[in-house]
Every structure is written in structure tokens, then in C-alpha cells.
């Protein structure tokens, strides 16, 4: 077995580190995320508060660690839901064409013609707020673009002779979709998926800002960054920790996705 490229290993470690830090927030965080230190409000980063404190004197580092749980969960769960439904739909529509394709794609057109935020709000508004609900709503929203991307790759693949050859071998539909189309469409799906993780975290931030996602005093990264707007000039460190965490996560996920694509693609040359 060949080793994955170093970028993948590095990205994997970074991502694992972020996940462990978020999961172990109970032990790692120096303070509870909602503990107020009124005397030290808007304290700049120091030994006692490594990333500074916010306007209520809450430790930014602790809040970032705890917020990671919410943000990571949202990113992974929403993307997972989107992939689980979008990929099969896209493969089927692209392979079968005809009426199914037409109906499905027009339905997705309708979904995509609504602003993303409006649609998520619509889904959330029907039910009480909660992180799981938000993840499902964002996930449903992701089905459309993921199915689109999968379908367009599939459309190109079905004209290739190896798919025709698979049909001439009498392969069943599920085999052609899973074993012939999916592995060849995988590179595009991985790239789309890693972008979606980042997008979900950002969308979660907007929802929290509007009061639909995470409920205060808890905060995910997006909400922390949004809240820091008012203090950009006086306390710029407020955005620093959550911003860095978010950027690192997004970069690591994209690197991992991109590297995995190369690693999984047998045509690219660093095997043997």
C-alpha cells in the first residue's frame, strides 16, 4: 500500500487535532464557556486568558473550543445528509435520463432558485430551533447542488465505452451505479463535499446571528465572529481564535478532500 501524500497526512492530523480539541473541551478549556469575569471584560490576550475575553469577560479560547463542537457537528452532519441523498439522486438521474431526470432536475431548480437562507429559515421556522434541526435543514438544502454536480459528472461518464461495456456484460443497475459510476465520479463529489462542510459552518453562523441556530449563551464559531463585529477596533482578538479555528478547519477539509481524490484516483502516478 502506498502512503498518502504528505498534504493528506498533515491535513488529517490538523483536522484530528481540531476534533479532539473540540471533543475534549471539558478538560482542555481553562474556563467554562459561560463563566463571566466582569472585572476582566475585553481583556486582551494574556497568560490568564490566552485568546482574550469578550464583552462579558468570557474566555474566548474556552468558547472557541466549545463552539467547535457545534460548528464541526453542523458541517459534518449537514454535508453527510446532503451527500447521502444527493449522490444517489444525481447518479440515477444522470444514468437513467428521461422523465426521472427531468422531474428531479426541475424540482432541484425550484429549490435552488430560493435564496439558501430563506429556505433554511422556512424549514427551521416550522419546528423549534435546535442544532440537529439546523443540520437537517442545511443538509436538505445541500441535496440540490450535490445532486447537480454528481449528475453532470455522470452525464459525461455514461457516454464512455466502459459503461456501455458494463451493460453489455449484463450488470445490474445498482452495480453500475455503485461500482462503475460512483468511483469515477468520486473526485468531483469529494471536492464538492469539502466545500460544503465550510459552507455549512458559515451558514450556521448566519443562522445563529439571526437567532435561529445556536442559542446564547452558547456560541459556535460563526456567532462568535459575528458578535465581534462591534469591537473590531477596540478588541480585534475576539475574532482571532474562532476565525483561525474556522479557517484551519476549512483548509484542512479541502486539503484532505483534494488529497484523497488524488490518492483514490488510480490514474495519478505516485503508485507502484
Partner 1 sequence: MTPLLALRDLTVTYATEAGRLTAARAVSFDLAAGEALGLVGESGSGKSTIAGAILDLLGDGATVEGDILFESVDLSELDAKRRRKLLGHRIGAVFQDPFTALDPAMTIGRQIAEPLVEHLRLRPKSAMERACELLADMGIDQPRRIAAAYPHQLSGGMRQRALIAAAVACEPPLLVLDEPTTALDVTVEAQILSLLAELRQRCCSSVTISRSCANSATASRCSTPARS
The residues binding partner 1 (CB under 8 A) are 97-98, 160-162, 164-172, 175, 179-180, 183-184, 186, 265-267
Cβ neighbours for 231, distance < 8 A, ≥ 6 positions apart? 42, 54, 55, 238
Shortest Å, Cβ 263 to partner 1: 13
User: Greatest CA separation found in the chain?
Assistant: 76
Q: Cβ 257 to partner 1, closest distance in Å?
A: 17
Instruction: CB nearer to partner 1: give 16 or 268.
Output: 268
Residues 231, 235: Cα–Cα separation, whole Å? 5
Q: What's CA 151's distance to the chain center, in Å?
A: 20
Give min distance, CB of 184 to partner 1, in A: 5
Determine which helix (DSSP H) or strand (DSSP E) holds 139, and give its type and residue range: helix 131-158
Which residue, 41 or 97, has its beta carbon nearer to partner 1? 97
Cβ nearer to partner 1, comparing 2 with 47: 2
- Least Å distance between CB 259 and partner 1? 17
| Residue 71 CB contacts under 8 Å (≥ 6 apart), including other chains | 201, 204, 220, 221, 222, 245, 246, 249
**Smallest distance from the beta carbon of 170 to partner 1, in angstroms?**
3
Length of the chain: 272
The Cβ-side half-sphere exposure at 245, using a 13 Å CA radius, reads 34
47 SS3 class = coil
Considering the complex, state which of residue 7 and residue 97 has its C-beta at the smaller distance from partner 1.
97
User: Which of residues 106 and 267 has its CB atom nearest to partner 1 in the complex?
Assistant: 267
Please give the Cα distance from 15 to 7 (Å, whole number). Answer: 12
* 207 alpha-carbon distance from chain centroid: 15
In angstroms, what is the minimal distance from the CB of 269 to partner 1? 9
Given a contact cutoff of 8 angstroms between Cβ atoms, the answer to whether 104 and 89 are in contact is: yes
**Rounded to the nearest whole angstrom, what is the least distance from the CB of residue 23 to partner 1 in the complex?**
34
Kindly calculate the radius of gyration of the chain based on its CA atoms and give it in whole angstroms.
22
- In the numeric block, the cell 475574532 is attached to 239
Amino acid at each position: 500500500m502506498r502512503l498518502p501524500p504528505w498534504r493528506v497526512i498533515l491535513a488529517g492530523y490538523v483536522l484530528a487535532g481540531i476534533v479532539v480539541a473540540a471533543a475534549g473541551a471539558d478538560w482542555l478549556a481553562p474556563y467554562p464557556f459561560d463563566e463571566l469575569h466582569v472585572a476582566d471584560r475585553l481583556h486582551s490576550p494574556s497568560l490568564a486568558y490566552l485568546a482574550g475575553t469578550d464583552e462579558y469577560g468570557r474566555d474566548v479560547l474556552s468558547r472557541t473550543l466549545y463552539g467547535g463542537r457545534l460548528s464541526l457537528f453542523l458541517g459534518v452532519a449537514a454535508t453527510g445528509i446532503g451527500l447521502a441523498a444527493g449522490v444517489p439522486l444525481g447518479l440515477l438521474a444522470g444514468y437513467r435520463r428521461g422523465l426521472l431526470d427531468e422531474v428531479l432536475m426541475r424540482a432541484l431548480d425550484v429549490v435552488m432558485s430560493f435564496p439558501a437562507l430563506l429556505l433554511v429559515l422556512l424549514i427551521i421556522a416550522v419546528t423549534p430551533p435546535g442544532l440537529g434541526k439546523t443540520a437537517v435543514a442545511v443538509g436538505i438544502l445541500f441535496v440540490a447542488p450535490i445532486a447537480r454536480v454528481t449528475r453532470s459528472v455522470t452525464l459525461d461518464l455514461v457516454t464512455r465505452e466502459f459503461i456501455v461495456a458494463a451493460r453489455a456484460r449484463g450488470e445490474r443497475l445498482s452495480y453500475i451505479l455503485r461500482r462503475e459510476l460512483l468511483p469515477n465520479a468520486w473526485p468531483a463529489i469529494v471536492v464538492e463535499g469539502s466545500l460544503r462542510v465550510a459552507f455549512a459552518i458559515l451558514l450556521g453562523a448566519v443562522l445563529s446571528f439571526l437567532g435561529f441556530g445556536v442559542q446564547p449563551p452558547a456560541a459556535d464559531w460563526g456567532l462568535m465572529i459575528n458578535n465581534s463585529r462591534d469591537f473590531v477596533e477596540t478588541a480585534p482578538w475576539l475574532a482571532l481564535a474562532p476565525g483561525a479555528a474556522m479557517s484551519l478547519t476549512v483548509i484542512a477539509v479541502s486539503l484532505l478532500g483534494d488529497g484523497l481524490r488524488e490518492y483514490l484516483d488510480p490514474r495519478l502516478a505516485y503508485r507502484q
